[in-house]
Structure 1
Amino acid sequence: AISKQEDPDMYLRVVERRPDGIVVRGAKAHQTGICNSHEVLVMPTMAMKPDEKDYAVSFSVPTNTDGIIMILGRQSCDTRKSEEGADIDVGNYNFGGVEALVIFDDVFVPNDRIFLNGETEFAGMLVERFAGYHRQSYGGCKTGVGDVLIGATALAADYNGTSKVSHIKDKLIEMTHLNETLYACGIACSAEGHKTESGNYIVDLLLANVCKQNVTRFPYEIVRLAEDIAGGLMVTMPAEKDFRDPITGPYLEKYLKGVASVTTENRMRILRLIENLALGTAAVGYRTESMHGAGSPQAQRIMIARQSNIAHKKALAKVIARIKE
């Protein structure tokens, strides 16, 4: 139980209640994009028992509030990307999102910033509904990343001179099939949503969790096919500074060239982009975030079990089989 843990701060909790607000202590791990955010929104991570009211807390405060500390996470190949003048090695030049461990060192939260304060009976519902929205969104955001990765992979095939090979074409078709299936799940759970009493719309939670469950699987195959088509040079390519060097540069220009009509630099650029998308961080990359973002696979399976309504499905089968009990 949360309340029985050795270190009570391992889940964010209320340590003091005042007439004008609360004081909280704890941390939130691997928060994507938090350093670029004006506000931090805190929620519980699971259902709570009545004796865990200090952990049943939700609020929003500015990220520059006293007591909030952010410690940046490391990224794949981040030292190479941070070199002065880096361009090609950055991979995705237009986006540089990072994650951070966000620490709340006795942070004061005013009453008008508190959404949940000890009401343990609502913690589970809040988590389930938030997770539903987040898992719905993966049908869109991961599909967008997939579109770019498919396009980059198709360009790599062009630059490698293999785009007309039948098995390359078939692998690109398979990548598209998997990617559009993810998109279809995102559309489905949105279209099947319903209006709540407050006037807000809630997604179909079963389909949202099915969407995210697929996201924990399909991107791995999409990335595998991208790496297959791109070739090993994607991860063995020398650094950009070697390409710019007056001595080593001409050798790389000569020996790393693909088709004659494409510059070596452009071939290097597309391979670095594929590397960035396939192996990069959660904010930029694909695989690890697809697995753990918005909850790891078992979290969706728990929700699928709750939402699957097996009793109704049994009743349908009994009607068709003319079973009377």
Structure 2
Amino acid sequence: MSRFLHIAESAEDLVLQSHMQRELGRRTGTCFQRCVGMDAANAMWSTTFDIDQKHGSSYHQRFQDFLKTMQKQNCVIGGAMTDVKGDRMLTPSQQEDPDLFVHIHRRLPNGGIVLRGAKAHQTGTLNSHWMIVMPGAALKEADKDYAVCCAIPIDAPGITYIYGRQSCDLRAMEVGNEIDQGNAKFGGQETMVCFEDVEVPPELVFMDGEVEFTGLLVERFTAYHRRSYVCKAGLGDVMLGAAATVSDYNGTSKASHIKDKLVEIAFLNETIAGTALAASYGGKPTPSGNFLPEILMANVCKQHVTRMPYEIARLTQDLAGGFLVTLPGDKEFSHPVAGALLEKYMKAKKGVTVENRRRILRLIENMTMGRNAVGYLSESMHGAGSPQAQRVLIARLMDLEAKKKLAKHLAGIVE
């Protein structure tokens, strides 16, 4: 069975997920686009169980049947949570256009549903087999039609995918220009997914109007997914390696201030990994039996991720030097006049080829400014919820009154 289709049955399972995610980040240098489906499956497992306990519905059995099929067929699942949202100050039902949040447009006589709306920033959906659609926020009774969870095949009638642009994306289309791509082996993509009267049969519907469980689902999904940003520690390992390599090539690796910057990169990167592992080791069972990461530490992990990759990128660019942004293109190096001049004047440390210097500079460019900066920087900021979303959870869970009691006790304050 694919580990991305496995339901976590212990804290150790969560820890193993974290190690896997970091390792895949190391091997790809980008977002490998599998975590959303894994986290959605685990969140849906426990939430459908809780809905059934209250309402006597059969969502949990439906979801089990669906997941067993995915496991047997080894399917890739994407997760679709983020709505396009429209006016952020209005609830879904208050929007001028009801389709600005995915919703049930109508219910079918057989118990199925018809969806309309759009999901934004969908990482990996286009190269999945199925997607799990979920609400993106806690909802109230007026927004009942927006409280929907279901599974949909990627090629279902009525779905349109609109592909997003990325910095330097056309380099991937240049024949024979592997070096300028920076990372010619791996990259990611995001799409807007538009639902225009998409029919979902009843056996693939896992929530239909149970608004009181939307907040719980979002909280559980984000606990898994914010912890899953341990993958950025894997990308950070690549960045540390790139920073060290470019320093070697420049002949500066023995300088004390260079060593100190490399230590700083490692320190920042291991902080991300440490908080993710803490969230995993602190996992507790839900009533359904699967394990949920410790919510506070999961949000602390993601809050670090909104900041530390940017500082790691800054330090790596510092160590790379100006050629990071003034390096001529690959064609210039094969030009009859410019090529010889570039080979002469772009030499660095003795024994280092100009081509290898170019390659490491392009990798750093790719991860800090190019296509894979989407996965390492912008996604670190906004993926799994923008920074304030984590701060809301941290504020709720930091138990300030208990901390005040500790301080007052030691200070001898009696109130």
Q: TM class by shorter-chain length?
A: over 0.9
Alignment correspondent of 1:302: 392
Q: Post-superposition shift, 1:118? A: 0.7
The answer (yes or no) to whether the contact 2:126–2:191 under 8 Å persists in 1 is yes
The letter for the 2-side match of 1:99 is E
Q: Post-superposition shift, 1:53? A: 0.7
Whole-Å Cα distance in 2 between the matches of residues 161 and 317 of structure 1?
A: 52
Whole-Å Cα distance in 1 between the matches of residues 251 and 372 of structure 2?
A: 31
Alignment correspondent of 1:214: 304
TM-score for the superposition, normalised by structure 2: 0.75
User: Is 1:313 aligned with 2:399?
Assistant: no
The answer (yes or no) to whether the contact 1:32–1:282 under 8 Å persists in 2 is no
Name which of 106, 113, 119 aligns with 1:28: 119
Task: From the superposition, tell whether residues 265 and 282 of structure 1 become closer, same or farther in structure 2 (CA, over 3 Å).
Answer: closer
Name which of 206, 209, 217 aligns with 1:118: 209
Task: From the superposition, tell whether residues 304 and 282 of structure 1 become closer, same or farther in structure 2 (CA, over 3 Å).
Answer: farther
The answer (yes or no) to whether the contact 1:97–1:283 under 8 Å persists in 2 is no
The letter for the 1-side match of 2:102 is L
Per-residue deviation, residues 118-177 of structure 1 (Å, max 9, x unmatched): 100000110111011110011x20000000011011100111111111111100000000
Q: Post-superposition shift, 1:291? A: 0.7
Alignment correspondent of 1:51: 142
Which structure 2 residue ranges, 5 or more long, are not aligned? 1-90
Q: What secondary structure is seen at the aligned counterpart in 1 of 2:146? A: coil
Which structure 1 residue ranges, 5 or more long, are not aligned? none
- For 1:266-285, what aligned pairs fall within 5 Å after superposition? 266-281=356-371, 285=375
Q: What secondary structure is seen at the aligned counterpart in 2 of 1:46? A: coil
Alignment correspondent of 1:158: 248
- For 1:69-84, what aligned pairs fall within 5 Å after superposition? 69-84=160-175
Task: From the superposition, tell whether residues 20 and 228 of structure 1 become closer, same or farther in structure 2 (CA, over 3 Å).
Answer: same
Whole-Å Cα distance in 1 between the matches of residues 386 and 371 of structure 2?
A: 16
Whole-Å Cα distance in 1 between the matches of residues 111 and 373 of structure 2?
A: 36
The answer (yes or no) to whether the contact 2:145–2:208 under 8 Å persists in 1 is yes
The letter for the 2-side match of 1:3 is S
Alignment correspondent of 1:175: 265
Whole-Å Cα distance in 1 between the matches of residues 170 and 145 of structure 2?
A: 41
Q: Sequence identity of aligned pairs in percent?
A: 57
Q: What secondary structure is seen at the aligned counterpart in 1 of 2:347? A: coil
Q: What secondary structure is seen at the aligned counterpart in 1 of 2:114? A: strand
Task: From the superposition, tell whether residues 49 and 281 of structure 1 become closer, same or farther in structure 2 (CA, over 3 Å).
Answer: farther
Q: What secondary structure is seen at the aligned counterpart in 1 of 2:287? A: coil
Alignment correspondent of 1:16: 106
Whole-Å Cα distance in 1 between the matches of residues 225 and 372 of structure 2?
A: 15
Task: From the superposition, tell whether residues 122 and 316 of structure 1 become closer, same or farther in structure 2 (CA, over 3 Å).
Answer: same
Per-residue deviation, residues 227-250 of structure 1 (Å, max 9, x unmatched): 000012112111112223333222
